[in-house]
Structure 1
Amino acid sequence: MIRYITFLILFCIGGNASAQTLIDSIIAVVNEDAITRSELEDEFRIATVFLGTRPDAPPSAGEKRATLNTIINRKFVLQEAERRGIVVTERETQVAAKTAEISAKYASETAFQNALEQSELEKAAIEAWVYEQLIYDEFFRRIFFNAINSEEVARLAKSYYNANGSEFIVPPTVTFKSLLISIPKDGSEVEKQADEDLVRKLNERLQQNETFQAVREIYEKQLELRFEVATLEIDTPLGAIVTKLQVSERSTPLRLSEGYQIVERIRNNSAYQKTYEEVSEEITERIRQNLANEQFEAWLIRRKEEETWHILDDELAQEESEER
């Protein structure tokens, strides 16, 4: 096959009288849709914004090939979705909600905007990518996930439960009362010492068998307190500490990064196996997803065999012949 490189010349006009010229090469074509090098680079930039951390090194050739293949697959899906008239209802609302989920990973909207600037991305690029993902997911749901035979899934789910019952065993746990005491880190040494003295007095009352409720009422205006009844697996660090206590015995204050925690053991809970009714929805969802994935992968293989697509960059095309 004769390989060729097509160039798009995009003129970006700045705020002054001068003009900048950006040359962006096309690295792949899926039917009539071009994939540019900047589109591939943006995929990595968007991933950086999602993860909230910058990579230690530039992407390798293998990572570039894998990511380009992801973009090619998405092109096939978007093209077929358009042919079938598949759209996302309430587009702006859904895109805004998904974009908000991404920005929520950051401490503030300003931090999110800074991450976009560092990655040389506009918020519109994130929103466009999110919309394509919504179309992708909607296409998969309608064409593959919803098409799986429910009776077949139910039969497979029951068989899976019978053959893998140990997977659904709940390990031993311990249930306990917990009182969290927050100590402000930005307080003065005098304030911190005063809080430490209050914690000591609070603990003395608890060790004298005063109730958590009574102690909270005494100290809640002087200390930030949070009470709860919790259950943890016994092989967790805190679970192991609670398990060593006698029933109704209270621990001494346990040091935490945010302050202290005092716990009281209520009971130990033996391991048990969940019933099929408890886990049937989880199993059927997993099986339906796996079957849909298999059909989707088969569909992609057929698309690549039947339709026209080329990778035009020699380095990125090394594995193309293996896929065909």
Structure 2
Amino acid sequence: MRSRLIAPLAMALMMALPLGAAPLTAAAQQLKPLDHIVAVVNEGAIMYSELESRVARVRDQLSQRGVTPPSDAALEQQVLDRMIVEEIQLQMARDANLSVDDTELNRTVRSVAENNGMSLEAFADTLEADGLSLAAVREDVRRELLMRQLQQRRVASRVTVSEREVDRYLEQQGANDGVRYRLAHIMVALPQSPSQAQIDDARDKIEDLRRQLENGADFASLAAAESDGGQALNGGDLGWRAAAEIPSIFTNAVPSLDVGEVSEPIRSPSGFHLVKLSDREGGQGRNLTQRDQVRQTLFQRKANDEMEVWLQEIRADAYIDNRLNESGAS
């Protein structure tokens, strides 16, 4: 069974493409004529020009979503953190000799264009009007496909679903059957084997973030500025989830939330979390009887949980020298 990870590829690509690397415009090069390293990741390096290109595109993406971008310094750090994790994965993919053939690449790029309601030719023209190129987007897609391959190998291999789990799921279908939830998420991460002081600091921060929300702070803007989760730059949005697809750490909290309500801080091995129920629909008692469909649903939920742990592990194992603050780039 070929199982999905985290999100359907088309959705993952659409979320990742606005964050892809692109050449600096001539104006930006005039403003920042001297490039420099902002992070060393194992044997690789991330340049300031790459970071600023990504930051500009993320800022546009947040604005299009109606999310107030965080401060320049906070946004730079959020984007750099994502770039570091991507770089680690791409290095691992190269070490594993993973590759993407042209047929798969062309098919995926065409799918991205079609998902935007355009032919490939119109897509290329739109990119050019935005100062990008089809070649740059093809490279973004290639990188994303390589990371998906790696995740399939490293994360999917950790996940199993037993027949008993399928039976238990079918037995438990009831009030939540057919319900779908739109969720958002803020996370304060903990390192592996954290000290008590680190746990206390993380707990204090998540409680402070919840107080800010209670005092009227916008959830999406706060997530973009402060969350350590992979969805931070999407305003913490986790999208729509069926009841069985909710991350396991949230399953007890989410059904009891009112729309618009934020949970109390939730502890997991990865850190502390706040989850917001943005919307809810369904609940008409849809009966899932197909075991393969149930097995896939359970696999997806487990994979979502395992992915977050795996990303923390590979980051902890990598050599990372974050020079952003030293460089005066902020």
Name the TM-score, length of structure 2 as normaliser: 0.48
Name the TM-score, length of structure 1 as normaliser: 0.49
Q: Which has the higher strand share?
A: 1
Larger-Rg structure: 1
Compare relative contact order (CA 8 Å, sep 6+) and give the higher one, 1 or 2: 2
